[in-house]
Amino acid sequence: MLDFIIDNKLYIIPIFEFLAMCIALKYYFKFRKSLKTEMKVFVFYLCFIFVVDTIGLYPIWAFFDKYETLPFLKDSPFHRNFWLYNIVRVINYLVFGYVFSSQIHSLKKYHLKKILHAALILFGIYSLICYSTFGNFLYAEEFSVIFIGTIIVFFCLIAYFFEVLLSDKILSLTSDALFYSGTGVLLWQLCVVPLKIYTSYFNTSNPEFIKMYGTALMYANIFLYSMFIIGFYVEMSSRLKAKTA
């Protein structure tokens, strides 16, 4: 199992997730009294992702262990982790959408924040209905959930960047954790989501696609979590300097 993880470089993303979680927790414990709710949610989300991705390795463990430790998984619908990441994917969209739409204050007369929050609630309801009825919750990704979630998060991010341009936040842009994080999320979505269209080719008869998809996802995740790490580090450094000035 260890050789498989090393050969396929499955250890790289958990390392970046762990670093992002650590810097976010340090940021939280230093400034928790002054943090807004959405920033606390973001920090705990990074902790949640690290734990879930660690748990998500269970199919590899079970396969190499020949299902001796987890015999109930063999031939069960849960022998793959699609079910776990279908849940996580919905949480991803809801968290990112909430965090960035919550930064909108200059466009109150257009009720944009309320509209985006309502869209997130409706998306959550749709995802629940989809996976409990017509969606293939246990065995595949549901493209309609990916598509709708991506569109909503995209609009939340565009609204956030527009908010930055309209407010004095632009003066401290380079020391804002959300700016780095938002840039990372936006570019990640633009790079990775188009690949989801071709996930039907993700099977043993298409090893070239599996390799390409895995490589693209790995580098996209490295970029994403690097942006989280940079964002929290830069803002934490800026706040500490301001305290000592």
52-56, 92-96, 173-177, range with greatest mean pLDDT: 92-96
> Residues of the chain with pLDDT > 70: what percent?
92
Q: What is the mean pLDDT of residues 125-145?
A: 90
Instruction: Tell me if residue 6 falls in helix, strand or coil.
Output: helix
Which tops the pLDDT comparison, 110 or 101?
A: 101
Please report the pLDDT score of residue 204 as a whole number.
65
- Contact between 164 and 105 under an 8 Å Cβ cutoff? The reply is no
Q: 114-124 pLDDT, tens per residue?
A: 999 999 999 99
| Cα 221 from Cα 184, distance rounded (Å) | 9
Cα 16-22-27 angle, rounded to 5 deg: 125
* Crossing angle of the two packed helices 177-196 and 82-101, in degrees rounded to 10: 140
**Residue 138 DSSP symbol:** T
Q: What is the mean pLDDT of residues 1-7?
A: 64
Q: What is the mean pLDDT of residues 24-30?
A: 96
Q: What is the mean pLDDT of residues 137-152?
A: 91
Confidence bin at 3 (pLDDT 50/70/90): low
Would you list the domain boundaries of the chain?
A: 6-238
Lowest mean pLDDT among 23-37, 68-82, 119-133, 142-156: 68-82
Please report the pLDDT score of residue 30 as a whole number.
93
Q: What is the mean pLDDT of residues 97-117?
A: 87
| Cα 102 from Cα 99, distance rounded (Å) | 5
Q: How many C-beta atoms surround the C-beta of residue 175 within 10 A? A: 17
pTM above 0.85, yes or no: yes
Please report the pLDDT score of residue 100 as a whole number.
96
> CA dist 132 to 37, 72, 138, 152, Å?
30, 23, 10, 21
| Cα 229 from Cα 13, distance rounded (Å) | 13
